[in-house]
Amino acid sequence: MSWKDFSQHAYDWFVNNLVPASVTLQSAATAMGNGTPYTPTTNMELTFVITGAATARTIVFEMADPVKGVYVAWQAFRPADSTLASTTANGSDTAPETWQVSVPAGYSFRARISAITGSPVNVTGWAVA
């Protein structure tokens, strides 16, 4: 392998494995909906934040396997108080919620809005290997 090929390979590995990937699961959502699923090609740790001024909302964390593709409730971890849960409700924009979940390669994770009242909700974050 030439030095140029090695350098390109090392750069590609770094970008694909160490640089956090931006993830948007819900963007300015004002209605119930599935949002955009996150499906990594390698095992990833996803840290995401729920923001928005909705007066009431319920978000369900769900994972689907790569074979059947059926979404089921999936527990995420909230570092602020060491909570494990598959749903969260009634957050606020003044106190955004941060959650973490491991997403295996090929699986799909989503943050589905099952109830919402008021202004938009955003669910965005970063994934790292």
Average pLDDT, the chain: 90
3-49 pLDDT tens trace: 777 677 666 666 666 678 999 999 999 999 999 999 999 999 999 99
- Would you list the DSSP string of 34-46? ----B--SS-EEE
Q: How many residues does the chain have?
A: 129
- Which helix (H) or strand (E) segment holds residue 108: the answer is strand 108-128
Q: What is the pLDDT of residues 69-88, one digit of tens each?
A: 999 999 999 999 999 999 99
Torsion angle of C-alpha atoms 48, 43, 37, 18, degrees rounded to 10 = 60
Domains of the chain, with CATH numbers? 20-128 (2.60.120)
**CB neighbours of residue 18 within 10 Å:** 9
